[in-house]
Amino acid sequence: MKRCLSRRREMRMSQERLAAQMRERGHPSWRQTTVAKLEAGQRPLSLNEAVSLSELLGVPLVPSGPAAEELAALKARERALLNGLESLVELCREVR
Protein backbone atom coordinates (compact mmCIF):
# COMPACT_ATOMS: atom_id res chain seq x y z
CA MET A 1 0.00 0.00 0.00
CA LYS A 2 3.06 2.21 -0.11
CA ARG A 3 2.18 3.06 -3.70
CA CYS A 4 -1.22 4.37 -2.61
CA LEU A 5 0.35 6.42 0.19
CA SER A 6 2.91 7.89 -2.21
CA ARG A 7 0.31 8.68 -4.83
CA ARG A 8 -2.09 10.24 -2.31
CA ARG A 9 0.71 12.49 -1.09
CA GLU A 10 1.73 13.37 -4.67
CA MET A 11 -1.85 14.45 -5.25
CA ARG A 12 -1.75 16.47 -2.00
CA MET A 13 -4.86 14.64 -0.85
CA SER A 14 -5.58 14.18 2.84
CA GLN A 15 -6.62 10.85 4.27
CA GLU A 16 -9.97 12.41 5.14
CA ARG A 17 -10.51 13.60 1.55
CA LEU A 18 -9.66 10.17 0.15
CA ALA A 19 -12.07 8.54 2.61
CA ALA A 20 -14.80 11.01 1.60
CA GLN A 21 -14.26 10.21 -2.08
CA MET A 22 -14.42 6.49 -1.32
CA ARG A 23 -17.74 7.06 0.49
CA GLU A 24 -19.01 8.91 -2.59
CA ARG A 25 -18.12 5.83 -4.65
CA GLY A 26 -20.25 3.54 -2.52
CA HIS A 27 -17.98 2.56 0.36
CA PRO A 28 -19.92 4.06 3.30
CA SER A 29 -17.70 2.72 6.07
CA TRP A 30 -14.56 4.53 4.87
CA ARG A 31 -13.14 7.07 7.33
CA GLN A 32 -9.75 8.71 7.81
CA THR A 33 -8.78 5.85 10.12
CA THR A 34 -9.62 3.36 7.35
CA VAL A 35 -7.11 5.04 5.05
CA ALA A 36 -4.49 5.18 7.82
CA LYS A 37 -4.89 1.46 8.58
CA LEU A 38 -4.79 0.59 4.90
CA GLU A 39 -1.60 2.58 4.34
CA ALA A 40 -0.03 0.95 7.40
CA GLY A 41 -0.89 -2.51 6.06
CA GLN A 42 -3.27 -3.18 8.95
CA ARG A 43 -6.46 -3.50 6.90
CA PRO A 44 -7.37 -5.75 3.97
CA LEU A 45 -8.81 -4.30 0.79
CA SER A 46 -11.78 -5.80 -1.07
CA LEU A 47 -11.69 -6.05 -4.85
CA ASN A 48 -14.40 -3.39 -5.20
CA GLU A 49 -12.45 -1.08 -2.90
CA ALA A 50 -9.25 -1.73 -4.85
CA VAL A 51 -10.96 -0.77 -8.11
CA SER A 52 -12.34 2.47 -6.64
CA LEU A 53 -9.01 3.33 -5.03
CA SER A 54 -7.18 2.62 -8.26
CA GLU A 55 -9.48 4.94 -10.18
CA LEU A 56 -9.27 7.72 -7.58
CA LEU A 57 -5.49 7.64 -7.33
CA GLY A 58 -4.77 6.81 -10.95
CA VAL A 59 -2.76 3.75 -9.94
CA PRO A 60 -3.21 0.72 -12.23
CA LEU A 61 -4.24 -2.58 -10.66
CA VAL A 62 -2.26 -4.50 -13.26
CA PRO A 63 1.51 -4.53 -12.74
CA SER A 64 3.76 -2.71 -15.18
CA GLY A 65 7.47 -2.62 -15.92
CA PRO A 66 9.60 -5.50 -14.61
CA ALA A 67 6.69 -6.91 -12.59
CA ALA A 68 4.55 -7.13 -15.73
CA GLU A 69 7.36 -8.85 -17.62
CA GLU A 70 7.81 -11.36 -14.81
CA LEU A 71 4.07 -12.03 -14.73
CA ALA A 72 4.02 -12.56 -18.51
CA ALA A 73 6.94 -15.00 -18.24
CA LEU A 74 5.17 -16.94 -15.48
CA LYS A 75 1.98 -17.12 -17.54
CA ALA A 76 3.95 -18.41 -20.54
CA ARG A 77 5.53 -21.11 -18.38
CA GLU A 78 2.13 -22.03 -17.00
CA ARG A 79 0.72 -22.40 -20.54
CA ALA A 80 3.70 -24.55 -21.56
CA LEU A 81 3.22 -26.79 -18.52
CA LEU A 82 -0.50 -27.14 -19.18
CA ASN A 83 0.14 -28.00 -22.83
CA GLY A 84 2.69 -30.60 -21.76
CA LEU A 85 0.26 -32.06 -19.27
CA GLU A 86 -2.48 -32.27 -21.90
CA SER A 87 -0.07 -34.07 -24.24
CA LEU A 88 0.84 -36.51 -21.49
CA VAL A 89 -2.83 -37.23 -20.79
CA GLU A 90 -3.43 -37.86 -24.51
CA LEU A 91 -0.47 -40.28 -24.64
CA CYS A 92 -1.81 -42.16 -21.63
CA ARG A 93 -5.19 -42.50 -23.32
CA GLU A 94 -3.57 -43.84 -26.49
CA VAL A 95 -1.60 -46.44 -24.52
CA ARG A 96 -4.77 -47.86 -23.00
Residue 30 sits at the vertex; the CA angle it makes with 28 and 32, to the nearest 5 degrees, is: 145
**65 Cβ neighbours under 8 A, 6+ residues apart:** none
- Classify 57 in phi/psi space as left (phi over 0), alpha (psi -120 to 50) or beta: alpha
| 1-57: pLDDT as tens digits | 778 889 999 999 999 999 999 999 999 999 999 999 999 999 999 999 999 999 999
The domain ranges of the chain are 2-57, 63-95
pLDDT number for residue 1? 72
